[in-house]
Structure 1
Amino acid sequence: MRAMAKLPQEVGRPRGRPREFDLDEALDKAIRVFREQGYNATSIGDLTEAMGLASGSIYKAFKDKRTVFLAALDRYMLLRNEQIAAVARAARTARERLRAVLGFYVESAKGVEGRRGCMVVGSAIELAIADREVAARITAALSRNEALLADLIRQGQADRSIPGKIDPDETARVMICLTQGLRVVGRAGRAPADTSAAVDIAMKLLA
């Protein structure tokens, strides 16, 4: 269910039901701005235009730009986690599920989606050094993704679709470096054109 943010009644307005806006929908629009422009280059004016809200409404609901950013980052990570989890459930063997997840990362780095960039990677580059709260969120996000890949490798070893000699944790860590690096080169329009070929190369880590 979508969250609804209620704005306090404006001074001088007649009594009645407070204005409402769809918080998730507003954050989705903010996500796009932050992905394309980054945090520092995004102004409250950019957010009001994208979110379709007056600046006063944003300040009442979120306090300041940083609060909007943190809420947008949390929603972005939630949505990405849901997408990745759905992809990871789609195939039969754990090896196939792992391949599907890697394919999702490659596809995400391509075309318009790739050029918009990943909010997690962008935040890590732009803000993580100076902002401990953002850094904690980025570390948690990368750790979750790494744990998912390691778990899929272990499942593959259990169903014998992945060799038992593979170290799940070390291999997952290398795969995270590959997938996040894809988002960086995707931002520059340099993501691999052939998803299958790129995934084939990544899967060689399981040989």
Structure 2
Amino acid sequence: MIVPYIAVMIKMVTAGSHAAPVRGRPREFDMEEALDGAIRVFRERGYHASSIGDLTDAMGLASGSIYKAFKDKRDIFLAAFDRYTLLRTAQMQQVAGAAKSARERLRDLFAFYLESSRGVEGRRGCLVVGSAVELAIFDREVAARVGASLANNEALLAGLVREGHLDSSVPRGVDPEETARVMVYLTQGMRVVGKAGRAPPDPSITIEIAMKLLT
């Protein structure tokens, strides 16, 4: 089964990924562990509904330590966003780097997104999608980060379509850029639906329909 395989891989990559150290900040605590706590809060509650109290509890820090390491809540959010996208990129690259045909790797990426949209993980939501909805219109720096994350995903998918042309697993008539763009629409939509608790009951059917983009 594809989905259980992806679920195990998500846990493995998250456990093994490390963000770059934050320079010039006190390291009396584990920055990555603290930011992982902040990520959970922002994903579940959104930016505006997350209080400093929520963050101190989740990050395991006193408010004094928070303000020594970060200027304010927005500074925490930006650091958490950067770590979140770093981890997600590592997960996607591991799925995309498997020793399989490009078509099979694209299928695995759809399964990866579906698994991320189900259950507790799905209800927590995607920090990129949440930020796009809640903050990107009003905050140019957040908008730039959201845009860069989506562009990276699109480039990865387009690259796999091109690899599929070369290994003959994807027909050459499938346009890499346009197809990748639609795939981003689809995968990000999965995260929105997952946040609402309406992930598809049978992932295999959704994956088969999505794969028709490559015919």
Q: Normalising by the residue count of structure 2, what TM-score does the alignment of the two structures yield?
A: 0.88
Larger radius of gyration: 1
* Structure 1 match to 2:44: 36
* Structure 2 match to 1:126: 134
Provide the secondary structure at the position in 2 that maps to 1:90: coil
Structure 1 unaligned residues grouped into runs of 5+: 8-18
Structure 2 unaligned residues grouped into runs of 5+: 1-17
Identity %: 68
Give a deviation string over 1:148-190, Cα, whole Å, max 9, x none: 0000000001110000001110010001000000000000111
1:79 aligns with 2:87: yes
Q: How many residues align?
A: 196
Structure 2 distance, partners of 1:69, 1:92, is 37
Structure 1 distance, partners of 2:100, 2:158, is 17
After alignment, is 87-96 or 22-31 more displaced?
87-96
Structure 2 distance, partners of 1:106, 1:175, is 13
RCO (CA 8 Å, sep 6+): is it higher in 1 or 2? 2
Residue 6 of structure 1: CA displacement?
5.6
* Structure 2 match to 1:116: 124
1:166-181 to 2 correspondences below 5 Å: 166-181=174-189
* Structure 2 match to 1:196: 204
1:63-102 to 2 correspondences below 5 Å: 63-102=71-110
Provide the secondary structure at the position in 1 that maps to 2:97: helix
* Structure 2 match to 1:103: 111
Residue 90 of structure 1: CA displacement?
2.0
1:51-62 to 2 correspondences below 5 Å: 51-62=59-70
Native 8 Å contact 1:150 1:171 kept in 2 = yes
Structure 2 distance, partners of 1:6, 1:98, is 40
Q: Normalising by the residue count of structure 1, what TM-score does the alignment of the two structures yield?
A: 0.91
* Structure 2 match to 1:11: none
Structure 1 distance, partners of 2:154, 2:99, is 19
CA RMSD of aligned residues (A): 1.4
Structure 2 distance, partners of 1:92, 1:205, is 19
Native 8 Å contact 1:102 1:199 kept in 2 = yes
Structure 1 distance, partners of 2:72, 2:208, is 45
Residue 89 of structure 1: CA displacement?
1.5
Structure 2 distance, partners of 1:102, 1:42, is 30
